[in-house]
Amino acid sequence: MESQAKSRDYIEMELLLEAIYQMYGYDFRQYRKAHLKRRIEHRMALSGLESISTMIHKVLYDESFFKTLLFDFSINVTEMFRDPEFYKYVRESIIPRLKTYPFIKVWHAGCSTGEEVYSMAILFKEEGLLSRTQFYATDFNNNVIAKAAEGVFNMEKLRDYANNYKDSGGKESFSEYFSTGYDVAMIEKSLKENIVFADHNLVTDGVFGEMHLVVCRNVLIYFNRKLQNKVFKLFHDSLVPGGFLCLGSKESIVSIENDKLFTDMDIRLKVYKKAIL
């Protein structure tokens, strides 16, 4: 009976993901099932739903519920200057190479609420590159994109962010990049001017062309191997020859196929360079 129950749960989950794709165009069918199962069970408990089949009906006939579930599926764990050593590496090893270009394009794929793209904007400003850099910050979740574009953060989090900034090799007082009011901090306006926030789905959308740097950290861990390979090809096609790809600490280029697309810059920090095929 237990194996039958597991099989039934799997079938119901597949039907739910297919219903979402057919009804709304969002494709989660190649996300890791363990990740989705946790999110689905959490939403079922909060909503008082008895089964995934009941959830399917609610998704099809209640768009507001679907939007809530979409936010559940979105990956929003982030912070400014997350993994300071990574940003220090960008400052010391990637920035000198980017300085050779007259104009620079950077794509933050899966930008969530914007902390990491603002971190990179601060770094580029300190290295004298902000004025000739265009950042593209994308996510499939319009709610988090809107929040990212606001650039408003909780004051309590700024202490941790400030420590990350210092450890990453920051050159100024971190507070200079914010204006404060009540219990929130607002990112300096000049840091937002060169950032375009846009809707882009790594699963279903196409190439972002002629990028010099692609940053996609801690997103691919939620994709299965087939989808990861598809996204690596997307990143390769989006980069200029010799462009850089930065992944999260738990991600890597794992297949022989992808080894042909990228060469290692720093295996430990998960930084790669586009190979010339």
pLDDT tens figures, 126-146: 999 999 999 999 998 888 899
Residues 89 and 23 in one domain: no
Residues 157 and 122 in one domain: yes
pLDDT score of 252? 81
Both structure tokens of 195: 């950032």
Q: What is the CATH number of the domain that holds 221?
A: 3.40.50.150
- Within a domain: residue 244? yes
- For residues 185 and 152, the answer to whether their CB atoms sit within 8 Å is yes
- Within a domain: residue 78? no
What's the one-letter identity of residue 67? K
pLDDT score of 181? 78
Q: Give the CA angle between residues 75, 184, 149 to the nearest 5°.
A: 50
Residues 177 and 243 in one domain: yes
Residues 135 and 215 in one domain: yes
Residues 44 and 168 in one domain: no
pLDDT of 1 over the 70 cut: no
- For residues 58 and 49, the answer to whether their CB atoms sit within 8 Å is yes
**Domains of the chain: total:** 2
CA 153, chain centre distance (Å): 18
Residues 108 and 203 in one domain: yes
For 100-133, letters b (16+ CB in 10 Å) and e give: eeeebbbbbbbbbbbbbbbbbbbbbbbbebbeeb
For 13-23, letters b (16+ CB in 10 Å) and e give: beebbebbeee
Distance separating alpha carbons of residues 142 and 250, to the nearest angstrom: 26
| Domain that includes residue 115, residue range | 84-274
Residues 146 and 211 in one domain: yes
- Within a domain: residue 60? yes
pLDDT score of 277? 65
- pTM of the entire predicted model: 0.86
- Within a domain: residue 122? yes
Question: Which of 73, 101, 131 is where one domain is finished?
Answer: 73
Distance separating alpha carbons of residues 164 and 113, to the nearest angstrom: 17
Residues 142 and 258 in one domain: yes
Confidence of residue 65 (pLDDT cuts 50, 70, 90): very high
Residues 208 and 258 in one domain: yes
